[in-house]
Chain A
Amino acid sequence: MIKFLLMVNKQGQTRLSKYYEQVELGKRAALEADVVRGCLARRKEECSFVEYKDYKLVYRQYAALFIVVGITENENELSIYELVHNFVEVLDKYFSRVIMFNLDKVHIILDEMILNGHIVETNKNRILAPLLALDKMAES
């Protein structure tokens, strides 16, 4: 099961966080700082899986953006690794501009892909369907 997903920039600032299991607000900052430190410090030639407390972290770097996913022991690391790439491809397909200003839309995409800590959808068109419907609604 996926416990959380973070998008972090190279400076270690959280750009987007989504928790699939309740974590107290006060503890989030510490958790994020810890997680980010653990992943950002790693070199390119090191593997993308990090053990952190009860979690396993799977991370990927895209230019200045890091995506870190915290998963439980029983989750398949490689499938999550692929999922992250899939997520980035969807973002790429939808956004032409900086995604940072459209965080709410990133959330919509994420909610279509992961629900309740499980992967629900991986097909790009189906993921984007509600978002496109929403855009149409906004236009009219």
Chain B
Amino acid sequence: MALKIVKGSIDRMFDKNLQDLVRGIRNHKDDEAKYISTCIDEIKQELKQDNIAVKANAVCKLTYLQMLGYDVSWAAFNIVEVMSSSKFTYKRIGYLAASQCFHEGTDVIMLTTNQIRKDLSSPNQYDTGVALTGLSCFVTPDLARDLANDIMTLMSHTKPYIRKKAVLIMYKVFLKYPESLRPAFPRLKEKLEDPDPGVQSAAVNVICELARRNPKNYLSLAPLFFKLMTSSTNNWVLIKIIKLFGALTPLEPRLGKKLIEPLTNLIHSTSAMSLLYECVNTVIAVLISLSSGMPNHSASIQLCVQKLRILIEDSDQNLKYLGLLAMSKILKTHPKSVQSHKDLILQCLDDKDESIRLRALDLLYGMVSKKNLMEIVKKLMLHVDKAEGTTYRDELLTKIIDICSQSNFQYITNFEWYISILVELTRLEGTRHGHLIASQMLDVAIRVKAIRGFAVAQMATLLDNAHLLTGNTQRNGICEVLYAAAWICGEFSEHLEDPMQTLEAMLRPKVATLPGHIQAVYVQNAAKLFATVLRKHDGETESQAAQETSQLLIDRLPLFVQSANLEVQERASCILQLVKYIQKLQQKNVEVAEEVTALFAGELNPVAPKAQKKVPIPEGLDLDAWINEPPSESESEDEKPKAVFAKEEPKHSRSRHTEVDEKELARRREVRKQEQANNPFYIKASPSSQKVYDAPGVEHIPVVQIDLSVPLKVPGMPMSDQYLKLEVERRQKEKAERKKKEKKKKREKRGKERKADSGPESEEDITPAHQVDIVTEEMPENALPSDDDDKDPNDPHKALDIDLDKYVPYCRHLQFIHVLHIVYDIQGNHQDESKVVVSVIFENKSDSFLKSMEFNVLDSLNSKLQRPEGAGAHDSLTVPFQLPPGQDTHAFLFVSSVSVSIVAVCIDCFLMQSDESSTHEKLDFKLHFTCTSYLITTPCYSDAYAKLLESGDLKGSSLRLEGINMPFHHLLARICFHHHFSVVERIDSCASMYSRSIQGHHVCLLVKTTVSIDAKCDEPSLLGNVLDEIKQTFSKC
């Protein structure tokens, strides 16, 4: 046996440590996976050893492997073992592994509760620290519930090292167990004024994070933060505080006004760029939240814009990027101040860094006006031509469209220009945004009636030149445009000059190579064009032209009837039969034009996206009621509900599908080629034809860059640049005319005041070139008023939206009308179990200063105030601060006490009315010490618990709670939290709980889901009181 142990420990000497593992992995680059799997086998062996040092080493290696992406959840229990080692060197390895590997779903976490609680209260600050750090990574709702009280106590630990960690962990606890926020908040608030700057900073961090989600609950802290901001010198803390103010000001504009000055001072004085940036950001946020009627803040905006300009001009790319980012925030409210830096922003479009270029693009979006839109878009079009990568070019394209279409085409004065821009964009090769351009074309043509004639002409040219767009069928993103072109030409065919020619273009055999959904539109709209042609020739007897058209369709449509695409096939065969029938009628000289046109009568109007949702439900219709009896369970299992309507955006799914197919096809083609090359019986294609299809070698062909100073021009297409020139001329002319008119008026008004020159053009002066009628989107009749249901119901922060100024239900409140409001809370003292700590918050409700307050406590038999050494038994305790009106502050009293009691307290205080006069007030009140205050959450293992119950020392009692309808785990959580119990074991419908008084009395509870509580305790009076208090807690809810 002894030999075995010796042998074992010698073996262990040759175990790999982490260093060996890392080195080993590096040396096995070729067979890394194999090497690691042998390592994992070794680790599994090591974990079977009893030696904790070996286990810790193994766990340490596992942590590294986990980081490399290997699943180590199988070792969770071993990790817990190492965590519970008494030696810190091992313990920390266990905690590190747990913090890296554990998550809410890890079931062994349940086993750790008591261990963590033990570590949290360890006398060694590093034990506590490591437990807190670990907890921050893997805290679960259960852990949060069970440990909230312990962590809260640590917030007042003597060592700042522990305090700051405990404060930060509380944020995670709040998220997991929101009920803890209210009781913890006074203490958290108090930490804002902690003497240690680290703790202060931690508290600021937590409150910032809380306030960001639910700012209104933290407004009352503003004065305190204001004080911190003006006194703190730590930039990291300042940044956080300033950020917090940014979140608060939208709710309280007065705060914003107060902030501007110190913030601008900081902007002027600080040398830290991060702080400067934060200040600028917050000033912007503040100015956004202030109403526009604050003319004297234009100076602050100017200052911000100036500072940002310096950032943007800096050679440091990081500053440039952030400058542009902040600038975009100013843009939203003060576009004018940014617009004057247009030159600088346009310069950034040429930057080497794509992120900077994208930021500059974002800015342009907001800088456009009716006046400069054409000019900016022209610049962007130049960049489109120059852009290297397709991603950036695509980004430019979407931005151009965004800029032009924003707020219902607000800035477009000339839609002919816009259409020609869209047409020019179709010449971009390989763009992914074909359908974006297409949808713009459709949108404009449908909604701007005046433009239809022009649009139709343009689209007809596009259709005619379709071969230019589809030249490269591999990357056919752009051919989506043809979808729009065909539809527009068909729908508004009355505007076409030569419908016959367009019809011919739409029925070319080449069309059959387009994607199916586009062909379908082609076929359908060919029918519309057919109707138009017939109507045109209506009345002419024996019209040659009309009959030729029918023949054209009859000749060309069979190609589409053979299409593999069902939609195309169906439509084509339908229309073919129709045309054949019409031809027969034509041959009999029957007038058909009117009837054919009737097929496509009526106008299609755009429908608002929300329209369907807004249709009011007719009275008496219950949408939730079953029409038929619900099917039985078994049926519903095999039959999944099918979508009744086709999914939206079929284009997307289709293109993705073809993408996959293309890859697959390429692979198959390669395989096939291989096969063919090896097959002597396969007749290979002649080399000349191979050139066309063969891909290999294409990359090696040197590509000559052709520098075209004149962009390629498609015949018959207008250039957008011309519109720019025309527009400028037109505006000048208008301006001149306006001036003339004004002069006339002036002449008439001579003698009266002289008007100043109209100066630079204002937005309103620019009239659109066309009378634009933008058709608004249709809404159903009786549409319901707008509702915004954007809030995410799953946001964990929703639960933390707690009004913290409302009185805490489980702290006691005392109110002395008009003078003082006191809140107090009593907790057992972990460090010294013969004492309880009473924390008291005073709030001065009066208008005057409260000075020299004194506590007079009448000691009773069972409780005694802990006075400073040397003080007499009746001496009073001076409160070490003064209270300005409207503020609150905390104080602590240490009271030694042994059982439930009431302590009579009296406060003497002076109310300072003014500098001279003051009044003296005496306020008597009583502090109720509930027996729960003497209970300390103590872990208990189930075997110890069973022994305790068996011992027979405990007396029993029971309690039934009436009218409780909360989930069982909430009920348990409440008992844990308010009465300092911990759950020992939970079995289905009941749970056993344990707690201990500071004098060592055991209290055991058995709580059942029927909401009855059986309790046992070795001190009957304590038991009765605890049960009474539990009853009280639940009667309140």
A/B interface sample: 24 pairs, CB < 8 A:
A20-B137, A28-B69, A29-B69, A46-B354, A51-B355, A78-B273, A78-B274, A78-B277, A79-B235, A79-B278, A101-B22, A104-B18, A111-B133, A115-B133, A118-B171, A119-B201, A120-B165, A120-B168, A121-B164, A126-B198, A134-B88, A134-B89, A134-B92, A138-B89
Binary per-residue interface labels of chain A (119-132) against chain B in the complex, 1 for a CB within 8 Å, 0 otherwise: 11110001001100
In the bound assembly, the distance between CA atoms of A28 and B67 in angstroms comes to: 9
Chain B contacts with A in 681-706, Cβ cutoff 8 A: none
Measured CB to CB, the nearest residue on chain B to A138 is B89
**Do residues A116 and B198 form an inter-chain contact, with CB atoms below 8 A?**
no
**Do residues A81 and B318 form an inter-chain contact, with CB atoms below 8 A?**
yes
What residues of A have a CB within 8 angstroms of the CB of B18 in the complex?
Answer: 101, 103-104
Measured CB to CB, the nearest residue on chain B to A121 is B198
* Besides the known contacts A49-B318, A115-B133, 20 further A-B residue pairs in the complex with CB atoms under 8 A apart: A16-B67, A18-B100, A25-B69, A47-B317, A47-B355, A77-B277, A78-B273, A78-B277, A81-B274, A81-B318, A101-B22, A101-B23, A108-B92, A115-B132, A118-B168, A118-B209, A126-B198, A134-B88, A134-B89, A138-B89
What residues of A have a CB within 8 angstroms of the CB of B161 in the complex?
Answer: 129
Q: Say whether A74 faces chain B, with CB atoms less than 8 Å apart.
A: yes
CB distance from B20 to the nearest CB of A (A): 9
Chain B contacts with A in 493-538, Cβ cutoff 8 A: none
Chain B contacts with A in 53-93, Cβ cutoff 8 A: 60, 63-64, 66-69, 71, 88-89, 92-93
CB distance from B772 to the nearest CB of A (A): 36
Measured CB to CB, the nearest residue on chain A to B202 is A120
Number of interface residues of A (CB under 8 A): 47
What residues of B have a CB within 8 angstroms of the CB of A47 in the complex?
Answer: 317-318, 320-321, 353, 355-356
In the bound assembly, the distance between CA atoms of A18 and B239 in angstroms comes to: 24
In the bound assembly, the distance between CA atoms of A1 and B240 in angstroms comes to: 11
Binary per-residue interface labels of chain B (276-307) against chain A in the complex, 1 for a CB within 8 Å, 0 otherwise: 01100000000000000000000000000000
Q: Say whether B169 faces chain A, with CB atoms less than 8 Å apart.
A: yes
In the bound assembly, the distance between CA atoms of A23 and B318 in angstroms comes to: 28
What residues of B have a CB within 8 angstroms of the CB of A77 in the complex?
Answer: 277, 318, 322
Q: Determine the main DSSP class of B at the interface with A.
A: helix
CB distance from B523 to the nearest CB of A (A): 42
**Do residues A104 and B63 form an inter-chain contact, with CB atoms below 8 A?**
yes
Binary per-residue interface labels of chain A (82-105) against chain B in the complex, 1 for a CB within 8 Å, 0 otherwise: 100000000000000000111110
In the bound assembly, the distance between CA atoms of A49 and B353 in angstroms comes to: 11
What residues of A have a CB within 8 angstroms of the CB of B205 in the complex?
Answer: 118-120
Contact pick for B322, options A74, A78, A82, A130, CB 8 Å:
A78
Q: Say whether B19 faces chain A, with CB atoms less than 8 Å apart.
A: yes
**Do residues A76 and B274 form an inter-chain contact, with CB atoms below 8 A?**
yes
**Do residues A122 and B277 form an inter-chain contact, with CB atoms below 8 A?**
no
Binary per-residue interface labels of chain A (1-16) against chain B in the complex, 1 for a CB within 8 Å, 0 otherwise: 1000000000000101
**Do residues A17 and B318 form an inter-chain contact, with CB atoms below 8 A?**
no
Q: Say whether A137 faces chain B, with CB atoms less than 8 Å apart.
A: yes
Q: Say whether A48 faces chain B, with CB atoms less than 8 Å apart.
A: yes
Which B residues form the contact surface with A (CB < 8 A)?
18-19, 22-23, 60, 63-64, 66-69, 71, 88-89, 92-93, 96, 100, 103-104, 126, 129, 132-133, 136-137, 161, 164-165, 168-169, 171-172, 198, 201-202, 205-206, 209, 212, 235-236, 239, 243, 273-274, 277-278, 317-318, 320-322, 352-356
Contact pick for A74, options B93, B198, B212, B354, CB 8 Å:
B212
**Do residues B277 and A76 form an inter-chain contact, with CB atoms below 8 A?**
yes
**Do residues B318 and A119 form an inter-chain contact, with CB atoms below 8 A?**
no
Q: Say whether A45 faces chain B, with CB atoms less than 8 Å apart.
A: yes
**Cβ-closest 8 pairs across A and B:** A78-B274, A47-B317, A46-B353, A101-B19, A47-B321, A79-B274, A116-B136, A118-B205
Contact pick for A79, options B88, B129, B137, B239, CB 8 Å:
B239
In the bound assembly, the distance between CA atoms of A1 and B354 in angstroms comes to: 26
What residues of B have a CB within 8 angstroms of the CB of A1 in the complex?
Answer: 209
Binary per-residue interface labels of chain A (45-61) against chain B in the complex, 1 for a CB within 8 Å, 0 otherwise: 11111110000000000
**Do residues B168 and A100 form an inter-chain contact, with CB atoms below 8 A?**
no
Measured CB to CB, the nearest residue on chain A to B104 is A22
What residues of A have a CB within 8 angstroms of the CB of B96 in the complex?
Answer: 104, 107-108
Q: Say whether A133 faces chain B, with CB atoms less than 8 Å apart.
A: yes
**Do residues A130 and B353 form an inter-chain contact, with CB atoms below 8 A?**
no
**Do residues A118 and B69 form an inter-chain contact, with CB atoms below 8 A?**
no
What residues of A have a CB within 8 angstroms of the CB of B209 in the complex?
Answer: 1, 118
A78-B273, A79-B274 known; A43+B352 contact, CB < 8 A: yes
What residues of A have a CB within 8 angstroms of the CB of B212 in the complex?
Answer: 74
What residues of A have a CB within 8 angstroms of the CB of B66 in the complex?
Answer: 25
A74-B243, A82-B274, A101-B23 known; A116+B172 contact, CB < 8 A: yes
What residues of A have a CB within 8 angstroms of the CB of B274 in the complex?
Answer: 76, 78-79, 81-82
**Do residues A104 and B322 form an inter-chain contact, with CB atoms below 8 A?**
no
What residues of A have a CB within 8 angstroms of the CB of B23 in the complex?
Answer: 101
Contact pick for A122, options B60, B172, B236, B318, CB 8 Å:
B236
Measured CB to CB, the nearest residue on chain A to B321 is A47
Measured CB to CB, the nearest residue on chain B to A17 is B67
A25-B69, A51-B355 known; A133+B126 contact, CB < 8 A: yes
CB distance from A65 to the nearest CB of B (A): 15
Measured CB to CB, the nearest residue on chain B to A130 is B126
Chain A contacts with B in 25-43, Cβ cutoff 8 A: 25, 28-29, 43
| Of listed A47, A74, A78, residue having the most chain B CB within 10 A | A47
What residues of B have a CB within 8 angstroms of the CB of A17 in the complex?
Answer: 67
**Do residues B165 and A115 form an inter-chain contact, with CB atoms below 8 A?**
yes
**Do residues A45 and B353 form an inter-chain contact, with CB atoms below 8 A?**
yes
In the bound assembly, the distance between CA atoms of A44 and B92 in angstroms comes to: 39
CB distance from A46 to the nearest CB of B (A): 4
**Do residues B236 and A79 form an inter-chain contact, with CB atoms below 8 A?**
yes
**Do residues A48 and B60 form an inter-chain contact, with CB atoms below 8 A?**
no
What residues of B have a CB within 8 angstroms of the CB of A22 in the complex?
Answer: 103-104
**Do residues B202 and A118 form an inter-chain contact, with CB atoms below 8 A?**
yes
**Do residues A134 and B68 form an inter-chain contact, with CB atoms below 8 A?**
no
In the bound assembly, the distance between CA atoms of A41 and B171 in angstroms comes to: 36
What residues of A have a CB within 8 angstroms of the CB of B129 in the complex?
Answer: 130
CB distance from B529 to the nearest CB of A (A): 46
**Do residues A116 and B169 form an inter-chain contact, with CB atoms below 8 A?**
yes
In the bound assembly, the distance between CA atoms of A101 and B60 in angstroms comes to: 12
In the bound assembly, the distance between CA atoms of A111 and B99 in angstroms comes to: 10
What residues of B have a CB within 8 angstroms of the CB of A130 in the complex?
Answer: 126, 129
